[in-house]
Amino acid sequence: MQTCRPATIPITVLGLCCCLQTSLCRASYLPLGPEERYSAPAESINTADYPARLRGLQAVLDACARTMSAAACDWQLVGPDAAVRSASGIRTVQFAWLRSALRDASQAGAAPASPKDPGAKQRTLEAAQGRLRDAGLRLDQELAQQHETFKGKRDVTPERAALKKILASGGYAEEVPPTLLERLRDAFLRWLNRRLNAISGSQASQFIVNLLLVSLIVVVCGGMTWWFARKVQSQRLMLTPPATPDPSAPSSLDWQQWLDEGKSFAKERQWREAIHRVYWSAISRLESRGFWPADRARTPREYLTLLGTHPETLDDLRPLTRSFERTWYGDQAAGQPEFDRACALLERLVR
């Protein structure tokens, strides 16, 4: 079977350029903490011993929640990730979220009290305790899943019989022969393949092949340069804020109005909607203060990226974003404590 050698090189060049384009567009959101950069190899453990490992992690969480001290909340007590061996293979369970919760609790317990805001330390402790409770619930769910696994595999015999019956019925679309247009297309591609192979086999035509390759590289790189220039130009245009915010931007509605809506939902015990309004109240306030140009299309993580040069504001917006993502996108249950923590973070952001 003949191969089209000159065609494979342009495809490789295109693949290389696409990889370069992807790397140029990749954005880094937040710097990783030491607990997230922890790279020890995962501990190999079988399914019978895995519940004991989970109960040990629960004991670490309980001790941390009782004292909130640096020793009890040391994230290194979590140990490495777990590579759980079972009959179906190896499942890697990562504990970066647990190390992060312990680190936040350790920092909250060691944080000094602020004379300007006596209640700040208490609010920080409550937020850290909330993360510890969330981590405990996640460990409980993982432990419950292991108990379900030990009950035995589900009988799939009825489903297998139903699938065999469907396959035996023969009610499937038959193969359709190619149309005249498709046959002409295939014939043209075969002819082009033969022509290219003939050119590549001739030493006299090597100059033409090299010229085609250089032209392709110039066209691809020129297109990437044009795209990058347009991207930079659009970013410069976005740096100049409009005289009035776009009607769809968060700052088009005053932050106090967002907050009032959130309190109204809280009175109706619609906590998910209430926390949603408190989050956008914070975004509206920061946007109106000129932290970024008004744009409704940003994601919550992109707002955190824009605050990279304002670490004091970022430290308050990050936990509020996590609370919003857990309740709004993660569909986790929320209540009065979560709403109060969100309001406390908002008060620090709007000062």
pLDDT band at 163; cut points 50, 70, 90: confident
How many residues belong to the chain? Answer: 351
> According to the model, what pLDDT value does residue 152 have?
54
Distances (CA, A) of 263 to 225, 256, 296, 341: 50, 10, 23, 13
Contact 306, 292 (CB under 8 A): yes
pLDDT band at 24; cut points 50, 70, 90: very low
Distances (CA, A) of 52 to 76, 136, 142, 183: 18, 15, 12, 64
Does the pLDDT at position 287 exceed 60?
yes
Contact 320, 349 (CB under 8 A): yes
Summarised one tens digit per residue, pLDDT across range 210-251 is: 778 889 899 999 999 999 988 887 666 555 554 455 666 777
Which tokens go with 287?
């946007």
- d(Cα 151, Cα 2) in Å, to the nearest integer? 57
Contact 96, 38 (CB under 8 A): yes
Which of 129, 125, 93 is CA-nearest to residue 111? 125
- d(Cα 80, Cα 93) in Å, to the nearest integer? 10
DSSP 308: T
Residue type, 229: A
Summarised one tens digit per residue, pLDDT across range 316-350 is: 888 888 888 888 887 788 888 888 888 988 888 88
Sign of the Cα pseudo-torsion (285, 288, 290, 292, in order): positive
Taking the complete model, does pTM exceed 0.85, yes or no? Answer: no
Residue type, 320: L
Contact 270, 338 (CB under 8 A): no
Q: What is the mean pLDDT of residues 131-149?
A: 85
> According to the model, what pLDDT value does residue 217 have?
92
- d(Cα 140, Cα 74) in Å, to the nearest integer? 21
- d(Cα 63, Cα 169) in Å, to the nearest integer? 61
Place of tokens 């899943």: 145
Summarised one tens digit per residue, pLDDT across range 6-20 is: 444 444 444 444 444
* 56: enclosing H helix or E strand: helix 50-67
